[in-house]
């Protein structure tokens, strides 16, 4: 069998649909032992596959979680996370700006009924043979230089279909737990915007609700009222930044839109007790 190679390479690389690794769509990457990677998911959902090696992951309230070869995990939107590489590691990383369906006939909303007995935790999934084969072939395409945006989006859709076909609904409910609920479009709006709003009224206007209607909708979806939920989520991110970044307290204060260092200090004393 003759060797396979990508033809008309220049036409691919000069096309406006060509995706480079720094464009954060789908990345195959190597990490050297004892390196630390710090990143923010912003408005994307990130799915991180460990092909070889092992890492320690920390984000929000989850600290020092070990992920080993042939496991994958999800990072929700607007999340700062840190990855510590314990040995030379090979990974595939998917970035999803659009999410909500595993296929045309099955939305993530349909998994909400399976979350009743699932505890909030750092949930991982193991590769099965179909996922292994999928990632192996995808890596061949990437190494060949086949990096068309439309092709990569189709491959990400294929990955969702593989999840739908070869993992149980209970497994999927645990994996997608941070981003699923009764109304995934509302949850997505909240997760994508809560760090940028300064009041419940502003959030309600953004979501095109009255304040009372927004609070009722929010409580039904998250089990807390907006102000308390946002404070809790911010506190998790702030603690991560204090522990795992080199940002000064002054920088962190203004990164999270506190009006003054004094306000930030009072917040920390109230939440963390010091």
pLDDT band at 1 (very low <50, low <70, confident <90, very high): low
Distance between first and last Cα of the chain: 68
Q: What is the mean pLDDT of residues 2-10?
A: 87
pLDDT band at 236 (very low <50, low <70, confident <90, very high): confident
Q: What percent of the chain has pLDDT over 90?
A: 48
Instruction: Say if CB 66 and CB 73 are below 8 A apart.
Output: no
Backbone angles phi, psi at 172, to 5 degrees: -70, -35
Q: What is the mean pLDDT of residues 232-246?
A: 84
Instruction: Say if CB 32 and CB 88 are below 8 A apart.
Output: yes
Give the Cα separation of 153 and 51 in Å (integer): 21
pTM to 2 decimal places: 0.80
pLDDT of residue 176: 94
């Amino acid at each position: 069998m003759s060797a396979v190679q990508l033809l008309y390479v220049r036409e691919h690389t000069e096309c406006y649909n060509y995706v480079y690794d720094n464009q954060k769509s789908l990345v195959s990457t190597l990490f050297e032992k004892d390196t630390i990677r710090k990143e923010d998911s912003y408005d994307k959902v990130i799915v991180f596959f460990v092909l070889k090696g092992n890492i320690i992951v920390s984000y929000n309230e989850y600290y020092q979680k070990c992920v080993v070869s042939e496991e994958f995990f999800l990072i929700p939107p607007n999340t700062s996370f840190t990855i510590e590489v314990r040995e030379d590691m090979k990974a595939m990383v998917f970035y999803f700006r659009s999410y909500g369906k595993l296929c045309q006939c099955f939305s993530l909303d349909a998994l909400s009924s399976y979350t009743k007995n699932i505890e909030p935790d750092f949930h991982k999934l193991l590769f099965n043979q179909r996922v292994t084969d999928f990632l192996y072939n995808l890596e061949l395409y990437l190494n060949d230089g086949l990096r068309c945006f439309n092709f990569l989006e189709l491959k990400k859709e294929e990955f969702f279909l593989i999840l739908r076909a070869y993992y149980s609904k209970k497994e999927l409910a645990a994996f997608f737990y941070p981003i699923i609920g009764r109304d995934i479009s509302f949850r997505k709006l909240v997760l994508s915007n809560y760090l940028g709003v300064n009041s419940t009224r502003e959030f309600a206007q953004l979501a095109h609700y009255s304040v009372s209607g927004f609070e009722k909708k929010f409580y039904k979806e998250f089990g807390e009222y907006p102000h308390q939920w946002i404070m809790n989520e911010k506190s998790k991110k702030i603690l991560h930044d204090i522990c795992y970044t080199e940002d000064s307290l002054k920088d962190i204060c203004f990164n999270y839109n506190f009006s003054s260092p004094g306000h930030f200090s009072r917040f920390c004393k109230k939440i963390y007790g010091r």
